[in-house]
Structure 1
């Protein structure tokens, strides 16, 4: 193995999948060069992190495993956008395939934008089906944010290509649905299905707010996504509300 330069070995390790990398590491373990030993130690650490992630995701399947004993279609539900001053509330509904593995699923707020975008594509590719439900600003002002959240969740469920047999919901119990459901506090960090729904909802709403930013650039929606940042509140006081502001949320700011 000493016929390989350290650069060659690094290149080989970089091209090797985590599933196969342990065999490659073993091939180079007898190399006594300091640079190779450092490379091996570095990739052993990465490999351990990979195994840790597999175990974390397995732990996040505890609710799914419980219901798979009785059901085939388990749907995770989560919403994004209850707190902003502007824009809709958006819910995601995701039915994952029973044997699917998607690493790094988590509460969407704990993920970088880049990782959310990557996972969004992977979820869409690997899910049995998914759907998004939206409750508009006018609905929020008319029936309040909690009822609008429920409405967006029901809309997401009704848009699925299959009828879910049980719902796993982040924190709440959705009124007006017939199938069994379980509300799980901090479910987007405890259930792979809810985490997937959280990411679908978050990426969808963020993209919507970025489009609104092109129409109403003075409020900085691309940066603040409608939340009440200092920049946003300042613009709101200077320019007044635009059509996507929640009047019921901003009365004390613009009166």
Structure 2
């Protein structure tokens, strides 16, 4: 029995917007929405418009489909060859105050502001930014369909993973360098053992339940 090969991102969505007269199309994606700790990070990428763009970024895919080593390699390649790259961060404080969806939109807005040239149209992975006055296309599983969104997913994921590795140095008992803040068994066990740090999302379960019992002395 043959296994179906997963589709790889293309430039079809970008080409459709080029044909409508848009020139600088930013793909956006985030990393860390489902974590118990750490920020949510958004990436924004404008790829160059040329005949060899698809070839230049061959292998770029949804960050979840790539190994850590491949993500790091593509991160450097995107930073070097993309027309523009932006990163935005939604802090734990913003997540707890506004909710994770609003924090994600906040991070994406920050990422967009870093892009030079400024985009004139957006491609997003299953999200819409009502406060951004630009044409937008929200695409389900966009990181698997649009090369620009896939590139943004890599920028967001690698940036966030690096932040969590740095956080591990401050809180080595939690294993942030391994699970990156996701709710693994090891992470939840560490929460029960060591309590809640200032970098845990108090609005997220099970942290919200634990916070009253295990308020961190680092607050």
| TM-score between both structures, scaled by the size of structure 2 | 0.89
Q: How does 1:66-215 map to 2 (within 5 A)?
A: 66-69=16-19, 70-99=21-50, 100=53, 101-215=56-170
Instruction: Classify the secondary structure of the residue corresponding to 2:183.
Output: coil
Higher relative contact order (CA 8 A, sep 6+): 2
Instruction: Classify the secondary structure of the residue corresponding to 1:183.
Output: strand
Give the match for residue 64 of structure 1.
Answer: 14
Contact 2:31 2:156 in 1 (8 A): yes
Tell me the matched-pair count: 201
**Considering only aligned residues, what root-mean-square deviation do their CA atoms show, in Å?**
1.5
For 2:208 and 2:133, the matched residues in 1 are separated by 37
Contact 2:195 2:210 in 1 (8 A): no
Instruction: Classify the secondary structure of the residue corresponding to 1:78.
Output: strand
Instruction: Classify the secondary structure of the residue corresponding to 1:251.
Output: helix
Question: C-alpha displacement at 1:254, in angstroms?
Answer: 4.3
Decide which structure has the larger Cα Rg and report it: 1
Greater than 3 Å deviation, 4+ residue runs: none
Contact 1:150 1:175 in 2 (8 A): no
For 2:142 and 2:161, the matched residues in 1 are separated by 21
Instruction: Classify the secondary structure of the residue corresponding to 1:75.
Output: strand
Question: C-alpha displacement at 1:253, in angstroms?
Answer: 3.9
1:60-91 CA-partner distances (Å, limit 9, x unpaired): 11001111121110000000010000000000
